């Protein structure tokens, strides 16, 4: 057959888009969207034919040019288009704050409040009592003051924004003293020295990588000093022959020299989790030292939405609220809605531990983990009797650049197949309709149940149904 003859057999768009075949799609996505998908498919077919060698053209299956075949292809891409680029996945890695997997899952009440506030209008910047303009900065003020003892708070887009704003408002044109052991990089391009430069402050490094004494800060103070800053080394630990200045020491030095002290604490832990092996600073204790300003993330150990929270002395926070960057870094109503419900849980530590997923996952007992693992193992065996399934111990982690040396003793279901490689199993699960992210350890596929919700157990078993 001549190429031109084959090309002539490609149906016209109008012939393919018959009302009876596409009425639902027209209604749902709109005629223009369906037409543009159809054009893409038909153009693709034309390009394919033009690229065929003469020999391939000889064997070309013209059935692929039938109206019904092409209509099916269009329906397939319309269906694929319904899956959003951002969608839920199941985290079976046992890492609680996985930065790649969206960090903290929100508590149910936060989710409900986001839905309620975002569906309609809200009093985001409106004082309902007075009938005039209000400020979004007031929304969490009272609650945060009650929970942390800070004089004032401010919430911005994330902790990187918070660092930028704090340094710009408090130390632009001045020196900020930081220990050489704390010049951290928090993934990607967030490096303390770089952000310092962006903010217009000058970094004044003191001490050495492994040892910095209070006197090192004191000696660095001069007429250009704008602040002393401590950065929590969230994602690494310096071990061995080490020394660092405690927050108390810095606060005392700051008071003596009338220089403000800033603490980038990172994880935003609001409760004491020492009983669970987590020796991390927490927000109320850090503020209790009398420090001027602390800043932390909303979606790490606090367990809320992505945000940066700045808490401390009123005179500094007021200045930040008026800073030109404040508008650029402000958060929207959905963040406030989620944050308020999350923070309310902290009025009672027991309620926080029960309702905030991140805290619940950290504190889940071995007994509960074992029960969940047994239930998952049973479901997998029922779903696919060909797989080898057993229960093993697992090292779970906090993750998200928090507490790198802490391993939580966890329980996992280990799966292998006699026919499919473990890598192949891992890939199949990742590509499932609801992707399941598991990890390979010693050539077994491990499902750590600490980060898996009870309602997700069936989905994991279903994802393993088809594998050999
Ligand atoms: C995580 C972290 C940051 C960055 O916080 P984001 O909310 O991710 O912007 C900054 N400083 C420290 C110490 C951190 O742990």
Q: Which residue has the tokens 């997998």?
A: 380
Alpha-carbon gap, residue 379 to 389, rounded angstroms: 10
Residue 334: the pLDDT is: 97
Q: Are residues 324 and 416 in the same domain?
A: no
Residue 21 CA to residue 15 CA, distance in Å, equals: 11
CA 407 to CA 95: how far, in whole Å?
A: 10
Does the beta carbon of 234 sit less than 6 angstroms from any atom of ligand 1? yes
Q: Where does a domain end: 333, 355, 377? A: 355
pLDDT digits (tens, 9 = 90+) for 179-195: 999 988 877 678 888 99
Query: Is the model more confident about 168 or about 58?
Result: 168
What's the CATH code of the domain at 368? Answer: 3.90.1150.180
Q: Of 359, 345, 210, 214, whose CA–CA distance to 280 is shortest?
A: 359
In a domain? residue 103: no
Q: Are 295 and 229 in contact (CB under 8 A)?
A: no
Q: Does residue 468 sit within a domain? A: no
Give the C-alpha separation, 204 to 356, whole Å: 39
User: The tokens of 15 are what?
Assistant: 């012939």
- Does residue 203 sit in the same domain as residue 314? yes
Q: Is residue 252 part of a domain?
A: yes
Same domain, 376 and 299: no
- Whichever domain contains 122, its CATH number is 3.40.640.10
Asked whether residue 21 carries a pLDDT value surpassing 90, the answer given is no
Same domain? For 137 and 285 the reply is yes
Mean pLDDT lowest among 70-74, 104-108, 171-175, 222-226: 70-74
* C-alpha 119: how far from chain center: 23
Separation of CA 10 and ligand 1 centre (Å) = 56
Mutation choice for ligand 1 from 103, 161, 190, CB with most ligand atoms inside 8 A: 190
State the greatest distance between any 2 C-alpha atoms of the chain, in Å, as a whole number.
Answer: 93
Q: What is the pLDDT of residues 289-315, one digit of tens each?
A: 999 999 999 999 999 999 999 999 999
In a domain? residue 305: yes
> Helix H segments across 226-322?
247-257, 283-288, 314-322
Cα end-to-end distance, the chain, whole Å: 43
Residues 288, 367 within the same domain? no
159 CB near ligand 1 (under 6 Å): yes
The residue among 149, 299, 316, 147 whose CA lies nearest residue 229 is 316
Q: Do 125 and 235 fall into the same domain?
A: yes
What average pLDDT does the chain have? Answer: 94
d(CA 33, CA 360): 44
Helical residues (DSSP H) of 302-365, grouped into ranges: 314-322, 324-328, 333-345, 349-355, 357-363
279 vs 462, residue with greater confidence: 462
Least trusted range by pLDDT, from 49-63, 99-113, 154-168: 49-63
Q: How many Å apart are CA 155 and CA 295, to the nearest integer?
A: 9
Check if 308 has its Cβ closer than 6 Å to any atom of ligand 1: yes
Judge contact between 204 and 210, C-beta under 8 A.
no
Contacts of 176 (CB under 8 A, 6+ apart): 167, 196, 201, 202, 203, 204, 225, 226, 227, 228, 229, 262
185 domain residue, yes or no: yes
User: What percent of the chain lies above the pLDDT cut of 90?
Assistant: 80
The residue whose CA is least distant from atom 6 of ligand 1 is 159
Indicate if 225 and 286 belong to the same structural domain. yes
- Whether 305 is in the pocket of ligand 1, judged by its Cβ within 6 Å, is no
Helices 333-345 + 141-148 axis angle, to 10: 30
Q: What is the DSSP letter of 185?
A: B
183 and 47 together in one domain: no
Burial 327-336, CB ≥16 within 10 A → b, else e: eebbbebbbb
Indicate the residue among 355, 386, 409 that finishes a domain: 355
CB atoms within 10 A of CB 312: 27
- Contact between residue 428 and residue 467 where contact means Cβ atoms under 8 Å apart: yes
DSSP conformation class of 74: H
Whether residues 300 and 447 share a domain: the answer is no
The answer to the question of residue 413 being in a domain is yes
Same domain (yes/no): 197, 301: yes
For residue range 112-157, what is the model confidence (pLDDT) as tens digits? 999 999 999 999 999 999 999 999 998 999 999 999 999 999 999 9
Residues 463 and 432 sit within 8 Å (Cβ to Cβ): yes
Residue 117 lies in a domain: yes
Give the count of domains, the chain: 3
Q: Indicate if ligand 1 lies below 6 Å from the C-beta of 157.
A: no
Residue nearest to atom 14 of ligand 1 (CA): 266
Say whether pLDDT at 373 is over 90: yes
At 191, give phi and psi (nearest 5°). Answer: -125, 135
Q: Measured between alpha carbons, how far is residue 316 from residues 3, 206, 247, 323 in Å?
A: 75, 24, 18, 11
348 and 388 share a domain?
no
Q: What is the mean pLDDT of residues 338-366?
A: 97
Do residues 145 and 285 both lie within one domain? Answer: yes
Residue that is last in its domain, among 355, 390, 412: 355
Print the domain residue range for 262: 108-355
Evaluate whether residue 385 is within a structural domain: yes
The dihedral built from the CA positions of residue 337, 338, 339 and 341, taken in this order, carries a sign that is positive
């Amino acid at each position: 057959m001549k190429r031109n003859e084959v090309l002539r057999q490609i149906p016209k768009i109008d012939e393919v888009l018959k009302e009876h075949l596409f009425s639902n799609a027209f209604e749902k996505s709109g005629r223009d969207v369906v037409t543009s998908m159809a054009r893409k498919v038909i153009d693709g077919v034309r390009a394919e034919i033009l690229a065929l060698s003469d020999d391939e053209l000889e064997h070309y299956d013209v059935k692929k040019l039938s109206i019904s075949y092409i209509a099916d292809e269009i329906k397939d891409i319309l269906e694929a288009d319904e899956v959003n680029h951002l969608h839920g996945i199941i985290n079976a890695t046992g890492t609680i704050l996985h930065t790649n997997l969206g960090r903290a899952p929100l508590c149910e009440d936060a989710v409900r409040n986001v839905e309620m506030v975002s569906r309609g209008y809200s009093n985001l910047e409106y004082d309902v009592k007075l009938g005039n303009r209000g400020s979004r900065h007031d929304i969490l003020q009272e609650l945060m003051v009650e929970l942390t003892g800070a004089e004032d708070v401010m919430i911005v887009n994330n902790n990187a924004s918070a660092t930028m704003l704090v340094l710009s408002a408090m130390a632009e044109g001045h020196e900020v003293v930081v220990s050489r052991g704390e010049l951290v990089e928090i993934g990607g391009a967030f490096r303390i020295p770089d952000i310092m430069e962006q903010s217009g402050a000058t970094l004044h490094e003191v001490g050495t990588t492994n040892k910095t004494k209070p006197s090192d800060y004191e000696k660095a103070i001069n007429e250009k000093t704008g602040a002393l800053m401590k950065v929590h080394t969230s994602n690494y630990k310096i071990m061995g022959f080490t020394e660092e200045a405690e927050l108390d020491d810095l606060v005392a030095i700051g008071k003596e020299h009338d220089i403000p002290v800033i603490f980038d604490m990172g994880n935003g832990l609001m409760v004491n989790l020492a009983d669970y092996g987590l020796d991390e600073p927490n927000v109320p204790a850090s503020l209790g030292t009398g420090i001027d300003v602390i800043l932390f993330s909303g979606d790490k150990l606090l367990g809320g939405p992505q945000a940066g929270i700045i808490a401390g002395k009123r005179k500094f926070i007021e200045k930040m609220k008026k800073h030109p960057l404040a508008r650029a870094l402000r958060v929207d109503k959905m963040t406030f809605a989620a944050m308020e419900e999350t923070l309310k849980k902290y009025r009672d530590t027991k309620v926080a531990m029960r309702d905030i997923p991140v805290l619940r996952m950290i504190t889940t007992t071995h007994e509960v983990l074992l029960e969940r693992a047994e239930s998952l193992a049973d479901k997998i065996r029922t779903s696919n009797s060909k797989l080898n399934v057993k229960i093993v111990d697992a090292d779970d982690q906090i993750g998200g650049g928090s507490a790198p040396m802490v391993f939580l003793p966890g329980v996992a279901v280990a799966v292998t197949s006699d026919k499919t490689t473990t890598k192949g199993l891992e890939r199949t699960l990742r590509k499932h309709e609801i992707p399941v992210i598991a990890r390979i350890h010693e050539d077994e596929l491990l499902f750590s149940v600490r980060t898996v919700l009870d309602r997700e157990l069936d989905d994991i078993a279903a994802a393993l149904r088809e594998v050999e």
